[in-house]
Amino acid sequence: MTTLASAIRAALLTADPRAKVMVTRDVARNWRQGRLEFVFDAQMPDEPARPAHPELLPPQQMPRRSKGGSERGRIAMWHSLAHIEFVAIDLALDIVGRFGEIMGAEFVDDFLSVAADEAMHFALLARKLENLGSDYGALPAHGGLWQAAFETRHDVRARLAIVPMVLEARGLDVTPATLQRVRSAGDENGARILERILDDEIRHVGFGTKHFVALAEKAGESPQQSWQGLVSKYFRGSVKPPFNDSARLAAGLSRDFYNAIAS
């Protein structure tokens, strides 16, 4: 029987986007159907494999996206979203491969379902780009999205604090405005994609918060204070409003987590 760690490592080292989607779905399905052994006999790579395109640029070198409604601006927006979801596949796989043994089967269940969701999101966005006459890889993309994973590779609490509870939670804040713009432009297909992503991301942030709170309470610590300390240590940026308080609360991330450090 194939081990869970080796299956995840193979998915992380799959560079082609379409192939990564299929391999990730297979990992999640095989785990769910009991075809992967709960054995961690393979080391996770520090960096996942990446396709030749898109070109990855430092944040300060990324071209500024037009806020207008031009075709080029719309393609740039959907490409950026596709890249975020592509990296999110690897983030979900890596957290399982790196920390699943110490965290247990429920943690694996949760985050492999996240990986499958992210693969589906990417596939929807890649198809959207194709319908607009473009494709994933046609434009440069943010090269720093993996940095949070690398810097928290040694500590599951730090990883949970930064990736689901800061980065994905930020998606809860900004997606509604993007959704409104897309719908106002008459793009109902795009609006449905964003609605699906938003609903799933609430669940993803919820998984991160649930496991983080359980770890903090097991250690006899305040979840809120523990999270704030880890964010101050590992997050290169500020936790800033506006916040989608209702979506965050639905994910278990109440204001007493982030009010004290919001800038």
The tens digit of pLDDT for each residue in 124-164 reads 999 999 999 999 999 999 989 999 999 999 999 999 999 99
pLDDT digits (tens, 9 = 90+) for 90-110: 999 999 999 999 999 999 999
DSSP-assigned letters across all residues of 44-64 = PPSS----S-SPEE-GGGSPP
- Rounded CA-CA distance 80/141 in Å is 7
CA atoms within 13 A on the CB side of 135: 4
Give yes or no for a contact between 199 and 247, defined as CB atoms under 8 angstroms apart.
Answer: no
Contact 103, 157 (CB under 8 A): no
Determine the average pLDDT of the residues in 164-169.
97
In the chain, % of residues over pLDDT 90? 91
Mean pLDDT of the chain: 96
Residue 65 pLDDT > 70: no
- Other CB atoms within 10 Å distance of the CB of residue 224: 18
How far is Cα 24 from Cα 113, in angstroms, rounded to an integer? 10
Residue 19 pLDDT more than 60?
A: yes
* Cβ contact 249:257 at 8 Å: no
* pLDDT for residue 67 is more than 70: no
- Mean pLDDT of the region 61-87: 86
pLDDT for residue 70: 87
Q: Is 3 helix (H, G, I), strand (E, B) or coil?
A: strand
